Structure formats: structure tokens, C-alpha cells
Amino acid sequence: MNNLNPRQQEAAKYINGPLLVLAGAGSGKTSVITRKIAYLIEECGIKAHKIYAVTFTNKAAREMKERVSKLVNGQAAKGLTVSTFHTLGLTMLRHELAASGLKNNFSILDSDDCQRLLSELLHKDNCPAADQKQALKYIIKKISDWKNDLIQPVQAVSTAQTKEDLVAAQVYEGYQRHLRAYNAVDFDDLIALPTRLLQENQAIREKWQDRVHYMLVDEYQDTNTAQYLMVKLLVGSNGRLTAVGDDDQSIYAWRGARPENMLELTKDYPNLKVIKLEQNYRSMARILNAANSVIGNNPHVFEKKLWSQHGLGEMIRIVTCPTDRDEAEYVANDLVTHKIMNRRTYKDYAILYRGNFQAKALETQLRELQVPYKLSGGTSFYARAEIKDVMCYLRLIINPTDDSAFLRIINTPKRSIGAVTLEKLGTYAQQRGVSLLTACTELGLGQALGQSKALVNLHEFAGWLEDHAREILESTDPVPRIRQLLSDIAYEDYIRETAPTPQGAEARLENINFLLNSVQGMINKAESEDDKSIETIIRKLVLIDLLDQQAEADDSDRVQLMTLHAAKGLEFPHVYMIGLEEELLPHRNSIDSDTVEEERRLMYVGITRAKQTLTLTLAERRKSGGDFRSTTPSRFLEELPQDELEWTGRRSQKTPQQKKQIGGAHLANLRALLNNS
């Protein structure tokens, strides 16, 4: 505890009731949470398996658990639960299978699987093709919102006030029936289902309240309705809870986050203690002054003001460029010059932006200068549709009970097996207690489906896959046989038909070829016969995929490019924020819907990522739809403390001679870089 400041110590040791820790950016909240866990175990005598710490990302959970393990003796920390909300929900469902109506081998559908199912249901409802894309997007968001608010399909139907909502509610009904028939859940169900069990089943609620002696929740401002209620039901009326959050960093309203949940705590627990962590250990004072000045324009329930002992630091630079291309060029050149002059590494720099489309021009400029970079938020190799398709065929070959894989590939490419048929197949499989693939081979399926073309297609698919599986699994050279499988289903034709452009089709086919060559390479490099088996290889690939999904940002020396949303929780010595223009930051949608407060919080998050220097850029003209349009500087620039800013460009106070000198020095540094490379 000695290395905590007085407010942090107070938060770590307070256990006399529910506690809300208002933790400003860079104020050491993770240290408080981990020290408090250690305090609960070592000083308060609470068994580790009775303590539950919950956050939103696997990365944050791993970091928290690693820190606790360094503070607490290994044996004493045994059984401690540090997880995401969704992992906790999954654990609860696995313990409450009977009450949830799920079976032991239930599947968790990913977003692609869910979208495909919803698309089929929408198509069945005869929605015009031209409207389907937009309708599907709306329905996906609406169903997620309903689940996050614990609204059942029947409630959604009865309360629908528009035609669009009624269609969405009806699709929601069918969607849930199909999920139940498939013995499957989606991502939102992992929270909604266990929360509903806690609500409706007193015995289950009391059992879990007995298990959870103390709960700590990180990033509390990001909780939605279901997550808030889950926590409330788990900790009980005594409020054995420490909630840590910052309402100024609530930037996920679009996925259901409710910063007002922090205010709700004061209503649910009149004895709630509030402790503010305002000392920032990350940033220079000028950066914090800028952050405080901007966020001060939002209304607040809880007032706080960040401060630092790191000194003033450099002036905040605001650079106006003629076009977005000039902006990208300026940032790339300036970054390289700063790196050389200050002997820094590339990973010390981050370039942040509102939308992913802004990265393209940056990538071009960085490549021209041979600057290594990492683009966060781009589609990983294993997340590409064509790779997931092939992987699901391979997964089903080595595990015929993998219902999630079955559902993805049964109609990829199309086999004239509709949503109604799959619903009946799922119901039959659940009744028989078998996998979907096994159900396809059983004679009893004919009674469920009738003698239809779909029945024949299912039988044929199962037999065809069995033949290929046998050949692939028994072969000492399986890759050519995998290629034959893809040839038999005319997958190349399917790719060419569905790709938006011929170039896109070629890129997808090349990805598949890369995957299969990788499989061959793993076989060639394997030292033992067991390692050469295709089952082992596929399991390794699945693990690579999972690790790829959960991977932390690597430590290689690369400039980080990411959206402001993706940057939350991270920090960098030197930060560039680009696109400080009206309709971009704040975004046009927020202006139209009068939700600029969240955009201001996004600006605050971006500013507080910077430790030493902060550069803000904007373009006077930005290309949109092939044409340039004039822009207006972001209102947030006017909210900054003007005496802490150094303007370059349209609002620059420098003389032409000074500008020329700076430009000459800039060019000389770039030449030096090129000569040394």
C-alpha cells in the first residue's frame, strides 16, 4: 500500500459498504483494484474463490490477474475469478444448464453466424432485396439493444411503435426459436440469460450471492442495463461492491453503455461512498489542462479535475493543412523528424482518428517513408469470411459435433436448405441429443422434415462430408484432398460470384491458397507423426485464430494507427490526433442526433492518451466521394485553453521567414533519414 497515494489507499482499504471510485484517466485505477483484491485476501481474510473481479476485455482481465499474482501468495490467490462480463455469464450458464434450457454442448454463435441466420429469416419474410442490407443492419442493432435491456421477443412485439420495430420484433421471435433449436446462444445472451435467471429464480440468486462475497467492477461507466442488473443481483442488498469508472470516458453508448449507471448506484445504495482519483501519473500538465478544459463543457454528476506533478510540458500544436492528403503527409514527415531529433522509437508514437477510412492516406505516406506501422482494428487473417468458411469445413471434419461450424457451412455455397429446414433439423437434433451433422444421417429425420428435397440435400451433404473427412484424415498428404473438397463444392466459383470486384475475388482466393500452403508448411516442419496429423494441425490453427482474436498489441517497433475508440485504455509518449473538423469530430451523426456530449468524451479520451506531446491536425478541404469539400474546424478546438496552444497553418502566428526556416530544417532532417536508411 505504501506506493499508493492517500486517495488510492482509502479506496483500496474501504470495505464498510458499497464504493464508487471515480478514476480519472491515468490515475492508477488498476493498481487500486489489484491492491484491493490483495487487501481483501490477506488482511480481511476473504477466500480468493469468493472474490469476483469483472472487466470488459480479456487483455484487461489478464493484466489484472497477473498483477494480483505478484501481490498475493500463489496458494492464497487460488480460485480468484478475474474475467470479462461475458466469461462470467458463460460460467454461470454452464452451472445452470437445467434452468437455462440449454444442453451441455451448446454453441456460441459469432457475429457472422448470427448475421447469416437473421438474413435468412429476413429473406423468408419477403423483405425486398434492395432494402435487406439496411433492414438487416437495423434489426441486428435492435435485437442487441433489446437483449441488453432484457426485453423478450413477446415484449418487443407488443411494444413496437413503428413498422420497422414490428418487423425487427417478429424476426427477433424467429431468431430466438432458431437459437433454441440449435442449442445455441449469441454474444448478448451470455449476459441476458444468466441475468434473467438471477431475476426469476430465487434459489439460483441466493446460490450465486453466497458464492460472490465481494465484487469489483472495472470500467463501470461502460455497463449496459443487463450488466448493471447482473452486478446488483450478485452483490445483493448489502452492496459488497467496488465500482471503478470514469463518466468522462464513456464512449460506447452505441453498444448500450449507460454512464448514468454510476448515478443509479447512488439511488440503489444510499450509503454509497464516493472517492475521486484525480492525480494523473501519465501526462504533462498542459495536456491535462486541455483535457479538463474540453470536458468541462459537458454536464457532470460528479465533478473532478485531473492534475499532475510531471511539469507543464510542451505547447499543444494545432496544424491546419490544405487537404487531407497534405494532412497525412505532414503527420508522417513530422513524426519521422521528431523521432530522429529526439532519438525515440516508432512505438512511442500513435496516430488517432475518428473513422477507419482516415487511415488509408496515412498508410500511403508511411509506406513511402518506409516507416513500420501497425493498423489496429483491421480485419485479421482468420476473421476473413473465406478463411472462416474453410476453417469451419476443417473444424467439422475433425469434430462432427461442432454445430457452430455446421451452421456456417451448410449453405456455403448455397445448397437449397432454408431457415425452416434448419429450425426443424435443430429441434430434431436437440430431441435426439445428437449433433446437427449426425441428425442429418438418421432415418428419423424424414418424419420431422417429410420427404422433401431439403431432406435429400442434408443426407447427401452428410455422406459427402463423411467421404471427404475419411480421405483427408487417413491421408499422409491431406492438403491436395482439402483442395479437392473445395473444388467439389465449386468454392472458387462461389467466391467469384459473391466478391464485389474481380480484384476482391482474386485477393480472397489468394488468402485461401496462403492458408492451405501454411497447413502444408506446418506438416513439412512437424517432427513427430502425431504433429503431422491433420487433426493436430487444424487444432493448432484454431488456437492461432483464438490467440489472434485475443492478442495484445505486440511490442515490435511500429507506429500505432487506431481509432479513438480503440485507443481507450492505452497510452503513448507522443500522440497525433487527425481530422479535427466539424462532422468528423464531432461526427455528423452526433450533431444530427444532438449527442455531441459523447463525442466530447471521445475527444477527452484522445487527449488523455498522450504522455509528453500532443499534436492536433485538420484539413481545410477533405475528399469525399471523389470531390473535395470545404471543412469547418471542430468546435472542440475552441474549447481548448488558447494560451496553451501553438497554431501552424491558417491560424499560425509565425512570420513567413520563420516558416521557411522551419520548413528547411524539416526537409534536411528527412534527407538525413533517407541517407541513413
Residues 113 and 553: their CA atoms lie apart, in Å, by 27
Q: Which helix (H) or strand (E) holds 292?
A: helix 285-295
CA distances to 536, 559, 636 from 475, rounded to whole Å, are 14, 45, 64
Where are the strands (E) in 39-147, listed by range?
51-55, 81-84, 107-108
**642 catalytic, yes or no?**
no
Q: Which of 165, 186, 219, 620 is catalytic?
A: 219
Residue 7 has a CB neighbour count (10 Å cut-off) of: 19
Query: To which H or E segment does residue 327 belong?
Result: helix 324-342
Three-state DSSP state, 127: coil
Give the position of cell 454442448: 105
Catalytic site residue 395?
A: no
Q: What is the three-class DSSP state of 612?
A: strand
Of 262, 203, 259, 213, nearest to 236 by C-alpha is 213
Q: Running DSSP on this structure, what letter comes out for residue 221?
A: G
- Options 29, 50, 258, 347, the catalytic residue: 29
Residues with Cβ within 8 Å of 546's Cβ and at least 6 positions away in sequence, in order, are none
Catalytic site includes residue 65: no
Active-site pick, 30, 57, 401, 438: 30
Site of grid cell 437459437? 179
249 belongs to the catalytic site: yes
Tell me, letter by letter, the H, E, C secondary structure of 417-482: CCHHHHHHHHHHHHHHCCCHHHHHHCCCHHHHHCCCHHHHHHHHHHHHHHHHHHHHHHCCCHHHHH
Cα Rg of the chain, angstroms: 28
The answer to whether 391 and 542 have CB atoms below 8 angstroms apart is yes
* Residue 169 neighbours by CB distance under 10 Å: 22
The catalytic position among 609, 611, 622, 635 is 609
Is 30 an annotated catalytic residue? yes
Is residue 72 helix, strand or coil? coil
The residue from 84, 223, 249, 365 that is catalytic is: 249
Give the number of other Cβ atoms within 10 Å of residue 341's Cβ.
11
* N residues, the chain: 677
Task: Report the half-sphere exposure of 561 (CA within 13 A, side-chain side).
Answer: 24
State whether the Cα torsion 583-589-594-596 is positive or negative. Answer: negative
Is 29 one of the catalytic residues? Answer: yes
Q: Is residue 99 a contact partner of residue 197, using CB atoms and an 8 Å limit?
A: yes
Annotated catalytic residue within 120, 188, 218, 403? 218
**Catalytic sites, residue numbers:** 29-30, 218-219, 249, 609
